[in-house]
Structure 1
Amino acid sequence: MQSLYLSLTNWNGLSPEYDFIGLDNFKRAFTDPNFSGAILHNLIWVIIFLIVPTSSGLFLAVLLDKGIPGSTFFKSVIYLPMIFSYVIIGMIWNFIYEPRMGILNLFIRIMGQPDWNFAWLAQAKTALLAIIVEASWQHTGLCMVLYLAGLSGVRQDLLEAARIDGANPIQLFFHVVIPQLKNSTIVVISLTVINSLKNFDLVFITTKGGPFRSSEVLTTFMYKESFWNYQMGYGSAIASVLFFIVFIVVFFYFNSVMKEGNNE
């Protein structure tokens, strides 16, 4: 509530005095191209997050649920990034993306580009996508675990009945398994969207929103306006917008869960 109140003021974060300016900070935000750019980057992040970690997690869950040799080991390895802090994740991928000695550029040089020294995090056209790859690598393990939990509750009698009726594996997956993973999918999508919005740590550690704001997201934009530019009122307005977006996602999640509970 205090942040919402400060969003209606012109407080600079230091002075004991400030004026009430109403919705001016919100009007400024929605006419600020930097704010629009941050919103766009968050939207790109959400879209990619809903496709890559979610589908990868589902694929890995289905594969490992079959009990392939070493499945326990692979589950542990895939989930391992989730226990790392964002600082560790950032350090690992900074090494991978390093222009001269990084693993990624080294692999490209081995594949036939001997002079390749691309700075993935220092180029405006690749910085955002490079960070999203880092976050997707970490988030895939969570999606996999959630889908594994859902797969443990799939009714085997329905699968057997469908097999008797002549359903092939693809039909079984899309018409029998996927519908029974609805609850897991709701949880995965909700957590994926929330995690893609609260992505301050990884962005700030790797690029701080640069270069030239090409990887700026709402959280880093809010931080810079509040603590670098000393416009706490404006930063609080950005935080309020972010809170409203997350609140909508959480409301949708709980509403979906409650509906499923009532239907059962």
Structure 2
Amino acid sequence: MSAAISPRALFEAPRHFVGWVTPSANTVVERVTLGILRHFPEVSPHFSRTSVVGAVDPFPLTYDFDDMLATARVLGDARLDVVAWNGSKGGSLDFRLDHELVARIEAVTGAASTTSTLAIDTVFREDGITRFALACPYVDSYRDRIVRSFAKEGYGCTAALNAGLSDNYSFSQIPLDTIAAMLRELAASKPQAIVCFCTNFPAAPIVAELEEELGVPIYDTVTMGVWGALRLLGIDTRAARDWGQVFGR
């Protein structure tokens, strides 16, 4: 584990300032982000939330752009280098929504931007991945939306497993052993990669160990939101290899 940064160095060292917009019922993003960033004391994380709660989405086919951009604009007041969306909704509808969101965040904040879904898309395209398996906490209909959205980008799903949950908060309560069992079962479908899709789905802590066990890369949306922001900053991410092989790129 990296040595703790001193109180004085915390404010004297060169810094990169990064903001993450995250769903309001989420209890996973901050914990994972801070865990990864212990390797990068030069990165200062900042968080703000947009309303995502319960089982009913009042904007089922798009983002609540007014709320999300207001949240991003508040983060932008701190003159951050990157403002990213660490949420996965766009990947269940159309990747174009996330491209639109990034453009609008950049326009209102003046910061670079990315999303968890677009970070996964970047890795898939760079590595020529066309077949993936999906693990998620959602009900069947939402799982199927994700599969269709990825298919539109040319990514075929070899197998998909879901926990059958609909309330956003409940996603964070799925035990790690349950997620590990899902990943082991998915690996049998011989995908080029496995995607853990939902930023309140606590898969990140077991990604590295399951990658080693199963011999397949695993891309978790929370982890990828952090990796995407670090990449925009041009930071060498290899120090965080214990969070997954994506950091060894």
With the length of structure 1 as denominator, give the TM-score of the two structures.
0.25
Q: Who wins on radius of gyration, i.e. which is larger? A: 1
Q: Which has the higher contact order (CA 8 A, sep 6+)?
A: 1
Taking structure 2 as the reference length, what is the TM-score of the superposition? 0.26
- Could you say which structure has the higher strand fraction? 2
* Structure with the largest fraction of helix: 1
